[in-house]
Amino acid sequence: MPDYTPLDDGFEQRVRSSFARQTLMETIEARLVKVLPGEVEIQIPFRADLAQQNGFMHAGIITSIVDTACGYAALSLMPAKVDVLTVEYKVNFVSPATGHTLIGRGKVIRPGRTLTVCAGEVVATGDQGEKLVATMLTTMMAIPDRGDFANIDK
Amino acid sequence: MPDYTPLDDGFEQRVRSSFARQTLMETIEARLVKVLPGEVEIQIPFRADLAQQNGFMHAGIITSIVDTACGYAALSLMPAKVDVLTVEYKVNFVSPATGHTLIGRGKVIRPGRTLTVCAGEVVATGDQGEKLVATMLTTMMAIPDRGDFANIDK
Amino acid sequence: MPDYTPLDDGFEQRVRSSFARQTLMETIEARLVKVLPGEVEIQIPFRADLAQQNGFMHAGIITSIVDTACGYAALSLMPAKVDVLTVEYKVNFVSPATGHTLIGRGKVIRPGRTLTVCAGEVVATGDQGEKLVATMLTTMMAIPDRGDFANIDK
Amino acid sequence: MPDYTPLDDGFEQRVRSSFARQTLMETIEARLVKVLPGEVEIQIPFRADLAQQNGFMHAGIITSIVDTACGYAALSLMPAKVDVLTVEYKVNFVSPATGHTLIGRGKVIRPGRTLTVCAGEVVATGDQGEKLVATMLTTMMAIPDRGDFANIDK
């Protein structure tokens, strides 16, 4: 894992401010617990109203936190005045999401001017320690920060 | 797209009953609007509290409905007494999720005894008609319906 | 499946000329059998020297033809003076690659100025007709045609 | 990265013997350079006849060696009398494959009775040292070793 030097000294503030605008994160009580250059961590408490049919946290919620973590890991290495967009992701689910807390971790594998590749993982913590729940490989894209990209043409 | 013959005549009831147990679906006001053999459709209204940083629906929520649609498309072709689990998925996001309603569609590409491959898509409907938001390729797995697979070993 | 209008009337020649420079295609005896706007088809004969451990065509070879088909489907809709690069792909293998001929088909799902999303499939033909072997979802990128992008920064 | 204990003491011989039956590996002059429990490495020389349109090694060849490395990393942890099958993979390409040697590395992230999740990477070595070319996330499946699974029903 290489050490990255951010292009923008204000990267942490930029990530925190964008995170604060993600209403889904507030809805699911997500907290941004780590913001380093190229590495971001987000955690949520288990909640009974975000489950799939067996009471485990739903794959879409698991994905939400690791997508956001990877997106902000990518954004942390981008220049100021740029926003980040998820191009695509792939997630493998390796054990049921049970426990007390779910942690999504995103790390940059390869930064780029337009595209950044990140790896992510989600772990669940509970009485038996930490277990791996899901693993992600994803492509993020830098786009001009227009505050509105409804007409974006990738 | 082939026509599929369900192994279990009660497939629709089985899908509806499992869907009703997904608390996330209730939380995001999802409705199961189509249940055919190998094909399921789910829709949700746009909600301001499920957004990413620009006010578009969050990738994780988009993914939630198409994951659930694909999972139940797979389950609809499985025998009775079996539950379905998401092994993995890959999603490409092709336009921002804006509009009035988001529709997730899942279809079986290849059913199997253990693994079923599905394709999904999410479209947004609004004043300008329907637009493609995301496309999914996913692997689903049949597992014994124990009502609890906390210890499942895939 | 929408009909696409190519930006460059010379798209077919451009695709054929680039295909002719792919030495791997010659090595595996690949033929470009269809070049339409947003849709390309490539076929290869089964060969005993391109197999995995059970004598089926190797996943990497299956992937080679559908990657090339998707790349050129994307290129067919790009302007002149542009080259195409595979950003990423995801492939599901649904049956063993056996038969006489393997056909890779690539279609554009969503064209874009920088990124184009394609869907691909590989079918095997033999005495029992056609069967689906693999299905692909992929992201292609337009880059300036420098004839050399060893230093490309995505 | 956890240490794994193989279920079958003869895992290395089993991997080497299966590798020797992959005719594609011989065709591209691949060598099995590391076989550990849950970790396998394969290398090939650069060859001008396996290229894409700009003279870089073709994505399909890059994928071939890391697919095989991941498959055998998975097989190394499976019991005797079992064969391995690629269910699906996702690959991101991060720099052009140029240099002298291409190395594919596969590691098990999560072993399972039926499904095993692996991560892979491909690096190119040359005059400037080692650079990352591609990264893979994949699902492998254990199947009975029948020596013929033409009729396999996953």
Over chain B, what is the mean pLDDT?
94
Q: CB distance A141–C87 less than 8 Å?
A: no
What pLDDT is attached to residue B147?
Answer: 53
Write out the H or E segment, with its range, that includes residue A73. helix A59-75
Name all domains of chain C by residue range, CATH numbers in brackets: 11-144 (3.10.129.10)
What pLDDT is attached to residue C144?
Answer: 84
Over range B104-122, report the average pLDDT. Answer: 97
- Please give, rounded to a whole number of angstroms, the shortest distance from the CA of B115 to a CA of chain D: 6
| Token pair of B62 as six digits | 């988009």
Query: In chain C, what residues touch B129 (CB-CB under 8 Å)?
Result: none
Over range C106-119, report the average pLDDT. Answer: 97
Number of neighbours of residue D106 by Cβ within 10 angstroms: 29
Distance CA B139, CA A103 (A): 24
DSSP string, D18-66: HHHH-HHHHHTT-EEEEEETTEEEEEEE--GGGB-TTSSBPHHHHHHHH
Q: How confident is the model at residue B39 (pLDDT cuts 50, 70, 90)?
A: very high
What pLDDT is attached to residue D2?
Answer: 67
- Please give, rounded to a whole number of angstroms, the shortest distance from the CA of D88 to a CA of chain C: 4
- Please give, rounded to a whole number of angstroms, the shortest distance from the CA of D74 to a CA of chain B: 13
Q: CB distance B87–D87 less than 8 Å?
A: yes
pLDDT, tens digit (0-9, with 9 covering 90-100), for A59-74? 999 999 999 999 999 9
**In sequence order, which residues have a C-beta less than 8 Å from that of residue C75 and are 6 or more positions away?**
C11, C14, C15, C18, C82, C83, C84, C140
Given a contact cutoff of 8 angstroms between Cβ atoms, the answer to whether C76 and C63 are in contact is no
Q: Please tell me which of the candidates A110, A136, A139 has its beta carbon nearest to residue D132.
A: A110
Distance CA A61, CA A57 (A): 7
What pLDDT is attached to residue D128?
Answer: 83
D contact residues 109-138, partner B, Cβ 8 Å cutoff: 112-115, 117
**In sequence order, which residues have a C-beta less than 8 Å from that of residue D128 and are 6 or more positions away?**
none
What pLDDT is attached to residue C154?
Answer: 64
Query: In chain C, what residues touch A113 (CB-CB under 8 Å)?
Result: 153-154
* pLDDT > 60? residue B14: yes
D contact residues 1-60, partner B, Cβ 8 Å cutoff: none
Q: Please tell me which of the candidates A50, A93, A150 has its beta carbon nearest to residue B87.
A: A93
Query: In chain A, what residues touch D109 (CB-CB under 8 Å)?
Result: 92, 94, 132, 135
Distance CA D18, CA D30 (A): 13
Closest CA to A138 of C119, C139, C60, B68: C139
Q: CB distance B139–D88 less than 8 Å?
A: yes
Q: CB distance B110–C119 less than 8 Å?
A: no
Q: How confident is the model at residue C149 (pLDDT cuts 50, 70, 90)?
A: very low
Q: Which chains touch C (3 or more CB pairs under 8 A)?
A: A, B, D
D contact residues 67-96, partner A, Cβ 8 Å cutoff: 90, 92, 94-95
**In sequence order, which residues have a C-beta less than 8 Å from that of residue A100 and are 6 or more positions away?**
A45, A46, A125, A126, A127
CA-CA distances (angstroms) from residue C45 to B87, C91, C127, D61?
A: 33, 21, 14, 17
Over chain C, what is the mean pLDDT?
94
Over range D7-26, report the average pLDDT. Answer: 97
**In sequence order, which residues have a C-beta less than 8 Å from that of residue C128 and are 6 or more positions away?**
none
pLDDT, tens digit (0-9, with 9 covering 90-100), for A78-123? 999 999 999 999 999 999 999 999 999 999 999 999 999 999 999 9
> Which chain A residue lies closest to C88 (C-alpha atoms)?
A139
* pLDDT > 70? residue B40: yes
Distance CA A64, CA A68 (A): 6
What pLDDT is attached to residue B152?
Answer: 53
- Please give, rounded to a whole number of angstroms, the shortest distance from the CA of D154 to a CA of chain B: 5
Alpha-helical runs (H) found in chain B: 11-21, 23-27, 59-75
Q: Please tell me which of the candidates D110, D112, D135 has its beta carbon nearest to residue A132.
A: D110
Over chain A, what is the mean pLDDT?
94
Q: How confident is the model at residue C152 (pLDDT cuts 50, 70, 90)?
A: low
Q: How confident is the model at residue C99 (pLDDT cuts 50, 70, 90)?
A: very high
pLDDT, tens digit (0-9, with 9 covering 90-100), for D76-119? 999 999 999 999 999 999 999 999 999 999 999 999 999 999 99
How much of chain B exceeds pLDDT 90, in percent? 89
Q: How confident is the model at residue A144 (pLDDT cuts 50, 70, 90)?
A: confident
How much of chain B exceeds pLDDT 70, in percent? 93
Burial of B47 from C-beta contacts in 10 A (0-12 / 13-18 / 19+): middle
Pairing relation of β-strands B31-36 and B101-110?
unpaired
What pLDDT is attached to residue D144?
Answer: 84
CA C47 distance to own-chain centroid: 19
What pLDDT is attached to residue C128?
Answer: 83
Q: CB distance C153–A87 less than 8 Å?
A: no
pTM of the prediction? 0.95
Given a contact cutoff of 8 angstroms between Cβ atoms, the answer to whether C63 and D59 are in contact is yes
Q: CB distance C153–A88 less than 8 Å?
A: no
> Which chain C residue lies closest to B93 (C-alpha atoms)?
C117
- Please give, rounded to a whole number of angstroms, the shortest distance from the CA of A92 to a CA of chain B: 4
Write out the H or E segment, with its range, that includes residue C34. strand C31-36
- Please give, rounded to a whole number of angstroms, the shortest distance from the CA of C49 to a CA of chain A: 32
What pLDDT is attached to residue B146?
Answer: 63
* pLDDT > 80? residue A6: yes
How much of chain A exceeds pLDDT 90, in percent? 89
Distance CA C120, CA A18 (A): 36
